Amino acid sequence: MMRQYELVERVKRYNPSTDEALLNRAYVYAMMAHGNQKRASGDLFFGHPLEVAAILTDLKLDDATIAAAVLHDTVEDTQATLEEITKSFGPQIGALVDGLTKIKRLDLVSKRAAQGENFRKLLLAVADDVRVLLVKLADRLHNMRTLGFMPPEKRKRIAEETLDIYAPLAGRMGIQEMREELEDLAFQNLDPEAYEAISRHLREVTAKAEKLVEEIEHDLTAKLKAQGIEAEVTGRQKRPYSIWRKMERKSVSFEQLSDIFGFRVIVGTIDECYRALGVVHTTWPMVPGRYKDYISTPKQNDYRSIHTTVIGPGRQRVELQIRTRDMDEIAEYGIAAHALYKEGVNDNSRLAKESRAYQWLRRTIDLLAEGDNPEEFLEHTKLELFHDQVFCFTPKGRLIALPRGATPIDFAYAVHTDVGNTAVGCKINGRMSPLLTELQNGDEVEIVRSEGQTPPAAWESLVVTGKARASIRRATRAAVRRQYTGLGHQILERAFERAGRLFSDEKLKGSLPRLARASIEDVLAAVGRGEMFSGDVVRAVYPDYKDERRAISAEAAGQADGKSPEQMQRGIPIRGLNSDMPIRFAPEGGAVPGDRIVGILTPGEGVTIYPIQSASLAAFDNEPDRWIDVRWDFEVHDRQRFPARIKLQSINEPGSLAQITQVIADHDGNIDNVSMKRRTQDFTDLTIDLAVWDLKHLNAIIAELRAKRVVSRVDRVNG
């Protein structure tokens, strides 16, 4: 276990003016608080926060972060309180410890919900201070290093969570060394056989290629020096998990991989980066398609470097990364590089907030305000953590970074939520293209918009970014709520009219406490969904109202056959399935314009439209509150088909089905479904679902079918 003076010495190596007294006090306080607590390994628990602090000293973090790392488990696992921490070490360290403690205080039913809620709390804490994230990542890294002492089931769960969330998150923050170690440790626990096999191969290859690596380092350094470029060239082999993932992605064996080794070229300036690239490409042939310039177009985690692959000595593929020393610092430490100890700078967290990686975090945190549940939020964020990127441009030249596999729909939502919600088409590089086209690096995308457009719910399963999915789901929910609210308003208007009482928002607002709803919109939506009956609302507004209800079976007949034309006109207008109300037609037989119709309110589904003669209506005789007055409302030029069903008995002879379908086609009917059943050797029963314009159109088809010799009987199905 690290001693007190060793911790101070580690910090003093990069921060000579460190507050030794603060670090000493934190060390002693945590040691006393944890006392004789033990970890699963049998070691003293206090050794864990010390190792977390040691990891953070490698990232050269400030005194407050190191002290918070030492103290981060005290409030959660000991008798220490946050008030004591804040009083003893100041509000800054208290806030860091509080941010880390809040993450663990959960009592949720679902492990997946707990994981999602944990992640939400982590990112919310990070919104205030990015150093919370750095401590959490270091905490996870040390836990992974000692994971072998855990039970197998728990070990598997923690390793999966690390591979799913924390390793990609470290990568997004640009801390590549930590990401690679987290991935390897998780891989080692999840698939120890594969890990050992790849590690064994790597050891063998490294032993054989040692001279080749030295040769490339020497040759490249000499060639750059001859051109006046002082460079530091180092070779390194890829990590086991990185190799395994590439083997899986490309479906190749270890022996087929030709780029096990990579070389890093560190130079002084950006100009020298491009000059070094020229030297490399004029010395060895470049592998087409393997050149990437992340200096002119940095990654979202601030990573900047030139990547290229050449055919080097011995016809060996060699991957090269060319960057300046400042870029290398960002590549190694990522977001932590912005929070390194700097002379005269007190607010290191503010420096981190200037980074592109932190901007990505902020955008992710914005999703928390959209009301998604923990599982949805976790799903969305994992989508963005895992994908590689493509870089596209707006017509005005704005750069939009998206996950690989993204579509113009994702692009539209990345520009702005309103742009995504109103998107109806797109141009890619000046040409009209489908909205589901997969975008490529360098594409210029222009979104065609239409105000009043609502994104189809099906888009949610087609996009790849978390923001797009969350926005589509939110817009769909809002559209459905608007439908139910509009339907509820019309139902209440007619309910109050039948009661002979005045309906107004002001009167409804006064009865909200009695209806146990927070707003008028909530009441309207509840009525539209069938969760609240219109009569209950009338009585809540007018407590003296007496609802003299008749038996609904008699009333239903009166609604259809005894109403005057003026009364019929007062029904809720029905335009069809594409109306602005949540309606559907009777599943057994449908309904068409020309039918006298009745609406039945179904909780959570809206209104189902039945012809008044439908036998299915008898099932609702004792539920008067579910009956809704409705009427057709469409113009002659509104060419929309409606569902209907007919049953036929046809003679069983060759060509009979063809004659039946030809009649329907000749009359411009559309067949949606056909089912056939052999009744006897001579006759076949057919049930045909049609889409027709109106009752006149349907009757014309039925009449023509009855005239056919092969048809013995035709009847309409009325449910």
Residues marked as catalytic: 76-77
DSSP state of 164: I
Question: Smallest Cα–Cα separation from 626: which of 509, 700, 538, 529?
Answer: 529
Nearest-5° Cα angle at 67, 61 to 68: 90
The burial class, CB within 10 Å (0-12 / 13-18 / 19+), for 680 is exposed
β-pair partners for 574: 632
Task: Check if the beta carbon of residue 499 is closer than 8 Å to that of residue 539.
Answer: no
**Token digits for 22?**
């603060």
**Number of residues written out for the chain:** 719
The burial class, CB within 10 Å (0-12 / 13-18 / 19+), for 149 is exposed
Ordered alpha helix ranges (H), 516-647 = 520-529, 534-541, 552-561, 565-568
Task: Check if the beta carbon of residue 122 is closer than 8 Å to that of residue 133.
Answer: yes
Question: Smallest Cα–Cα separation from 436: which of 413, 457, 414, 406?
Answer: 406
Which strands form 627-628's sheet, in the order they lie side by side?
A: 583-585, 606-611, 597-602, 627-628
Question: Smallest Cα–Cα separation from 316: which of 233, 242, 263, 259?
Answer: 259
CA 716 to chain CA centroid, nearest Å: 47
CB-CB neighbours of 171 under 10 Å: 22
Question: Smallest Cα–Cα separation from 534: which of 565, 497, 562?
Answer: 497
Q: What is the dihedral of CA 162, 164, 165, 170, to 10 degrees?
A: 80
User: What amino acid is encoded at 513 in this protein?
Assistant: P
**Local structure of 316: helix, strand or coil:** coil
**Token digits for 248?**
């899986």
Place of tokens 């003076």: 5
Task: Check if the beta carbon of residue 572 is closer than 8 Å to that of residue 628.
Answer: yes
**Rounded Cα distance, 443 and 509, in Å:** 52
Question: Smallest Cα–Cα separation from 590: which of 634, 624, 627, 641?
Answer: 641
CA atoms in the 13 A half-sphere facing the CB of 604:
0
* Sign of the CA dihedral running 281, 287, 292, 296: positive
Question: Smallest Cα–Cα separation from 164: which of 104, 239, 238, 112?
Answer: 112
CB-CB neighbours of 288 under 10 Å: 7
**Rounded Cα distance, 317 and 100, in Å:** 45
**Token digits for 93?**
């360290």
Which whole-number Å values give the CA distances from 336 to 173, 305, 325, in the listed order?
A: 8, 18, 15
Task: Check if the beta carbon of residue 265 is closer than 8 Å to that of residue 231.
Answer: yes
The strand pair at 572-574 and 306-311 is best described as unpaired
The burial class, CB within 10 Å (0-12 / 13-18 / 19+), for 571 is buried
